[in-house]
Every structure is written in C-alpha cells, then in structure tokens.
Structure 1
Amino acid sequence: MQLRKGIFAILALLSTIGAAKAAQPESDQTLLAQGRYLAQAADCAACHTAKGGTPFSGGVRMNMPIGSIYSTNITPDPKTGIGQYTEADFARALREGVAKDGRNLYPAMPYTSYSKITDTDVDALYVYFMHGVKPAHRANLAPDIRWPLTMRWPMRVWNALFLDDHRFEPRPDKSVEWNRGAYLVQGLGHCGACHTARGIAFQEQALDGSSNAFLSGASLDGWFASNLTADPTTGIGGWTAQDIETFLKTGANSHATAFGPMTAVINHSTQWLSHSDLESIAIYLKSLPGAATASRDATQPNDRLTDMAHGARIYRNFCVACHLANGSGTAPYLAGLAANPNVQEKDPLSLINVTLNGAEPLVIDGQPAPYPMPAQRGALSDIDIADVLTFVRNSWGNHSPAVSPSDVENVRRQTGNDK
C-alpha cells in the first residue's frame, strides 16, 4: 500500500512539473513567433542569407566606396556565429554597430536605423535568433578592403558624428497607425538605408522625415533606390494608400513593379507583414512631402534625342511584346512604362542595370512571378540600350534626360564580365 501511494505521489509530482514545463514553452513560443515576425520586418534574411546558402549564415557581398564587405553569420553557432552573444551583446551590435569583441561594424549594417528599435522588440529578436534559427558553422569572410582602410577605430568617430542612439519616440500629435508606420519605416524596415542619399562619409543625409532628403531616392551598389516621397513624377505622389499596400504585398501594382534589391525586400520581408502594418506604412509614407529628383525642363539640351528612331526600332524588336506599343504593359504581371516613376527618374542607373542583367523573379506565397525581366546584355550593345532607354524615357508622356552609351558601358563593366 505504501509503495502504491509513493508511486502515485511521484506521478503526481512529475505531472505537475510537466504542466509547468508545458506552460513555459508556450510563453517562449509566443516570444519566438514575435521575433520571427520582427526579423522578417527587418529583412535580416536579404543581407545575411547568400543565394543557395543556409539561412542567416552570411556571405552576401556588399559594395561600399572603400571596397567590398561580406555579411556575417548571425546564426547561433558558438564558433562562427553569435551563439556566444548575451542579449546585451546582441543589442549593442544591433543598435550601436559594435560586435561582441569590440570591433566596430561598417554602416552597411543599418544600425543607425535599428537604434530606434524598442527594448521589447530587441528581446524578441534575441530569443528568435538564439532559439528559432538553426546554427550554421560558416566562417565569416574578410572584407576586400586595403589597409589602412581596414582599420575599424575611425568608425568610433563616425558613430560620434552620425549615430543618433535614441529609441523611437511616438509623436503625440499623430495617430497610432502613423506612429507604427514611422517606427517600421525609420527603424525595423530601415528603408532609409537604401532610399536616402548618403554624404561624403557614407552617412545617410536624413534619418527621418524632418529633412526632405529622407527617402527621396539614392544610388547604391549599381541601382537607384526609388523616391518614396509624394513627388508626383518620380515618387509615389500618384499612388493611393492601397497602391502602396499592394506593392509591398505583391511587388507590383498599376504604377510599377519591383526589381533589383527591392525584389529581395518583397520576397523576404514585406509580403509577410500583417495588413495593419502594411496599412500603417502606407499612412506614414503618404504623409511625407514630395521631394523632386527628376529634370523635366523641355528646353534642356538633349543630343541623344536624335537617336529616338533607333531606340524605337529596338523597342519594337525587344520590348513591345511585354510592355506593349503604348508602354502600358499588363499590370501587375508586366510593368507599364508610361508614367512609371522609375522610368522618369533623373538617374537611369536602375533602368540600365535591369535591362543589362534582368530581374530576379518575385516569389509571392511560394509562387515565382511568370514573366521576370530577361537580361539583354548579350543581345544589345551599349548604344542599343542607351537609345531604347532614351526612347522609353521620352515617350507616352515621359520626359527624362537621355541615356548615354558611356552610362551603359560603366554599368556593364561594374556588374559583370562579358566573355
């Protein structure tokens, strides 16, 4: 009898312990799920997952004015990743750009934006990366930068000048939705890291909407990141809030289609955001005043316009099947070119790049887009591409500066070697 009572007592104790343990993982799972969502909102995968590589194991090449660097392994591997990081170490790297060993990170890591992230969100991100990401043993690659530019101590001076290490503070005169959108755009989403022009020291010229430079478009690593302000020609002034939500959810709307680095943003990040967060982003972006980046002076000298006829022939032979004779395309599958803000942008960098090298497919809900832009670098010469882009940029109501063959030659040389 005593033995039976003892057994029942042990079983009851084990049951109690088991119930307590079951309750704890439920709490952890909630935090982990939150961290996973925040990592998607922060688009960590786009920079820290190489093509075909293990998620978050690094190795993505990034070109900077001083040379090239490679993203680091942020899996919880204890030898090559961040497995030895405490939460304080993690927060310092994320928001101050300082690794566990004291090395300063280059500002290709958008810590000037991540500095706005709240303590609660840092906690959730830390739980996710430590417990929701599979460890990957992959050594970090050394930067392709010559000494003495490899020295990291100047970054301490850079941080003192350009890092605003303050958390996001909601504005009481704005709505809850506006503040949520501002937090996502300025902080987690770090949109300014690509869409805001940088100064001579590679610093973003603005970190929020207090300056018209914020999100007004910028050239970076072979592409021109679009103007996200309310400018009606090169920005999103003609887009409704629903247009913005649709673009972030699917990578396309009736005005434009994502290409270049924005494809990775759609694939890894924005398509997974909740409806309320997408709505908040749209509300915030629609509140930004316009910042024009295009030149639409009809009297501007434009010698290359004499080759419009050649550009029109190239368009008929290579482009008309998808983009149609009137440049309207077939949204959302095939981008329209008439009144497209990317087409009318003063800087033709993205147009040249996507024409030369094509576009990676958008993958929405696991389904690749059926008609990605094909690469034309082998089929068209520098003159061909310059003339067809000049034709497109000055047809169907578009009016933008001509593209020169030397512009195309530069991008061709920088983005690959033709055999």
Structure 2
Amino acid sequence: MNRTLAGFRTRTLQRGLTLVELMVGVALSLLVILAMLTLLMNVNRNSTELARTNSVIDNGRMAQQLIEADLTHAGFWGGYVPTFDDLSVSGAVGAVNDAMTVAFPTALPDPCAAVATWNTDYRAQLIGLPLQVYQVSSSGASPVCSSIITAAEAQPDSDVLIVRHAAPCVANASASETDCLNTAGNMFFQLSRCPTDAARFALSATPADLVLKNGTCSATAPLYRFLSTIYWVRNYFMTPGDNVPTLVRTRFQLQGGVLAHQQTEALVDGIQALRIQLGVDNVSKPTVAGGTGATLTTAKFQQDVGWASTTDTYTPTKRGDGNVDAYLACAAAGSPCSDPVQGPFNLANTVAVTVGVLARASSATPGYVDVKNYSIAGSSIGPFNDAYKRHVYAETVRLNNVSMRREVPPP
C-alpha cells in the first residue's frame, strides 16, 4: 500500500505540459519575438532615417563651405585694383582697355573661350568681373561652356557659378599647394609696381610677357596663378544614371599640354540645386548725413571719381560705397545676372553673394511625399512630389576684395 502511493506521487511530480499549456507558451513566445522584431525594425528604420538626415545636413554644409571659401578670394589680383574701381585715379577712366587700364566691363566674356583667342579686352573683362552666373534650363541646356556642362549631365533649373581671382599666394616652383606652384605653361597674373614699366599688369602664360618689375624696379614682380573655377550640379554622382545629383567643379589649369577648364571633379553628392543671388552696390555714398546717394550707371564709371568737393575726399559721387543696395536673383532666363546689357554692370558691382544650396537625401524614404516649395536665393523650386527628403541652406558671403576697396573712411 505504501509502495503504491509512493509510485503514484512520483508519477504525479514527473507529469509533462498539457497541450493547452504548450500552445499558450508558444503563443506568448511568439508575441515576445514579434515585439522584439518590431522594435528592431523600428530602431533600424529610425537609424536609417537619421543617417539620411545627417547626410543631407553634412552635404549641404560642405557644399556651402567649399563655394564660400572660393568666393572670399573673388576679385583678388595680388594688390591690383581695376582702374574703374580705383579711387586714387584722377581724371576720366574712359571705355578702352589697354596695358595700363581696365575699363568698366560692358560685355560678358565666354568663360570657356580658348586661350588663343584671349585679346586685351577679354583679359580686362576677366579681371573686372570676379564672377559670372548662368542658369541651366529645364531641359538641361547650359547657356555657357556647353562642351563641359552638357545637356546629358547638367541638372535642370540649377545655376552655374564661375569664380575668378589670383591665387592668394605667390607662385613658387617648390610649393606643396597646387594653386601656389610656378610651373611653365600655366596662366599667371603679375602686377607692376615700377613706374617705368610699359604695362600696369599682365595676365599671360607666355614668359616673355611676365617681366614686370617690383617697387624698386630692380627685380621681377611676383607671379600669382590665375584661378577660374566653374561650379555646377551634375545629375549623377559616380555613374551616369545613378540618380544622385552632385555638386561638381571644373578648374582652369594646364593638363596634358592644354591650358583650359579641365575635366569635371565631383565635390559633394546629394546636391540637387545651386542658386545664386547677387548683392549689388549700385548707389553712391550720400553726400550729407541721412541723404540718398546717386544711382550709378556705366557712364559714371567711365568718368572721374567725382569727389563731393575739393575738401570732401571721402565721398565719391560716381562710385559705390561697398554696401549692398539691391539683391538680384539669378535663377531666371535673361536674368539680371546674365543679361548681355545689365549683366556686366551688375556683376562688376557685386559686393556680396548669397549662395543657396538644395540638399537631397541619396535614397528615398518609404511612405514620404515631398510636396514642399523651397525658397532658395530669391527664387522658388519644387514641389518634386517624390519620396526624397530635402533641406535648403543659404549663406551670404561678402566679396571683401571688391567691397573693401570702395569703402572710404571719414577723415
């Protein structure tokens, strides 16, 4: 009897799960696994979206910084001030360019013209216009440098920016920085400081032209590399058709024995549009406190400075004062930036530039539709009605080399 009871108790303690208990356990386990998978998917999705957002932020800021760094040097010519903007020049400037004079620009040069075609007027235009701006049409056709900015590659409705200046360093044969190298065949700018020189400046790749003297007239004046960079937006990053718009540039330099704007370099991927706005100084300094200055014209830049009086030599009435009087958006056909008549005047008087960049994520966000209109550098773009997230970045850069030479402090 005792032996039977002990066996019953043993069998009772060793009994397994019932079918109902097993099903409940499996169900609970599945719920826990499902919750963990959902959490993991959400974390992964949030991580991916955060990476997209960070990419847009980093790319937009990087694109701006690269262009701004170049714009800060725009119009630098090793200490040379174009004649039409030189407040120390007495008498009429005139409208003729020669070895001693850079007259006020009245035409827009072709930024990609062959070096063999550069004449005196063309070189003076390059010096007098520190930048040029054009817009690629909705079809992708560029109004300038179409051999480089092809319709098959150019991003529609984005601006083309050309920035020109001398390198901010004296050319040296052993320099570690490419822009500072003195290598035969490149284009150099040279400023004469010797009053007996037959030319005030030289912009040439020919050694025989680069013989101007320094201030003592006893040694050759330093050389500066001529820099011209074209910024534009390409519709792909690495491979045509990869659908990742990219900020690119092409630089003027000697390569393969050819001196020209060379092959395109990819700078920042995920940049869908570049838009430029000019800050134009087109009103002179007021002659009295609280007054209004005179509206400037091309004709006034061909005349003498026009000081307010023989004793007031800090108020030029026929020149700008270095401050922005109007902002002009460049993103329009026949815009005030590229118009054949108004373009030269506005570009020569630009003292600040607003750089607008539209950054786009490199991949689409599921379930998202971009229906926004983006205001960028005085113009609008969008909506795109796609699944890519975007962000606008804008920054105004002062062209110190242009604006500061127009400022005349009171005595």
TM-score by length of 2: 0.24
Larger Rg: 2
Higher strand share: 2
Higher helix share: 1
TM-score by length of 1: 0.24
